[in-house]
Amino acid sequence: MDNSSCSCGLHPLGGTDMSEDRPRRSDLLKTPIQMVELTRGMTIKELADQFSNTSFQARNLAQCVEIYRKMTDTDSSHTVFMGLAGSVIAAGLRKVVTQLIEMGMVDVVVTTGAVVYQDYYQSMGYKHYRGAVESDDVLLHEYMIDRIYDTYVDEEKFRETDISIGNLLESLGGGRYSTREFLRILGERCADDGDSILGAACREDIPIYCPAISDSSIGIGLATSYRRQRDAGVGMDEIFVLDTIRDNYEMAQIMNGSPSTGAFYLGGGVPKNYINDAVVMADMIFGGQDGHEYAIQVTMDRAEWGGLSGSTLGEAKSWGKIDAEATH
């Protein structure tokens, strides 16, 4: 049916034809798009400012810059949580994350096991290599080369890293550790690596949490270490154990002790959900917890599939994870 024959009176811009809130034509054609002008010596800030008067994702990027500026304002008391998902290290962004930590632009990091594992792998002197999307993956497997889209990694060196992590934990003896404590131990081994995320977090005393750490090469290293110790007759109370529930409580404590919070999600997945769930955990444990006051999400996923990675920050308001008056 043609819209003109619809009897409900709905206007394509919202509201009804009779509504007093209906915008006038002149209201809609009020703010012209400005053309970007590149100049010699232009700063990134100046470019981002120009993006705010453009369209599409450039305008959204400018909004992100402004929100992040407010989150990290030195006069503010915001605790900034950063969620890292995806192949950040393979993408060449390792130093960027390290610099954010060093510059005091992040207070808490929540990440996947892959990110911290590959950071540790690089600190051991191993590399990621340029590859090709159209590769012979069967041949790569024969050569023990793993492919991450257009990037190669050395599976032999991965396995050496797995064993190294397992040996390190065995040297610590038994005990229960949060992932924050465990990753700080790894960070101490990376402290002299100026490019290391773990090393920078250790030097700057920034906590890193990895709630799904078992789902990574670190988990593989821990599993092989566990089997080796059990075969040697080591008792359960003498085996290193990761206690992720302690992570939950620590995250709730950080939320409860923060006057206000902001969240920066690079990708989605577990880190995004965990940072959001910290609000609910703090509210359940301590009561009266407000959602994050500021939030930025950088993702390629889409909301209509119903997955967490693409879910909107507006949707998170229904859960109380993002504050009702939040800027995002």
d(CA 180, CA 257): 18
Q: Tell me the backbone φ, ψ of residue 34, rounded to 5 degrees.
A: -100, 140
CA atoms of 54 and 117, how far apart (whole Å): 39
Q: Which among 78, 157, 146, 71 has a CA at the least distance from the CA of 121?
A: 157
Q: Which of 45, 127, 317, 321 is catalytic?
A: 321
Quickly count: other Cβ atoms within 10 Å of residue 170's Cβ.
18
DSSP alpha helix (H) spans, the chain: 25-28, 44-51, 56-71, 94-102, 113-123, 137-142, 155-172, 179-189, 197-204, 217-231, 244-256, 269-285, 313-317
Give the burial string for 236-271 (b: 16+ CB within 10 Å, else e).
eeebbebeeeebbebbbebbbebeebbbbbbbbbbb
- Distance, in Å, from the CA atom of 254 to the CA atom of 261, rounded to the nearest integer, reads 10
Q: What whole-number distance in Å separates Cα of residue 82 and Cα of residue 254?
A: 14
- Provide the residue count of the chain: 328
Pairing of strands 145-148, 151-154: antiparallel
Measured on CA atoms in the order 286, 291, 293, 294, is the torsion positive or negative?
A: positive
Query: How far is C-alpha 255 from the chain's CA centre?
Result: 17
Greatest pairwise CA separation for the chain in angstroms: 81
Q: Is 70 a catalytic residue?
A: no
Q: What angle do CA 277, 202, 200 make, to 5 degrees?
A: 95
Give catalytic residues, as residue numbers: 321
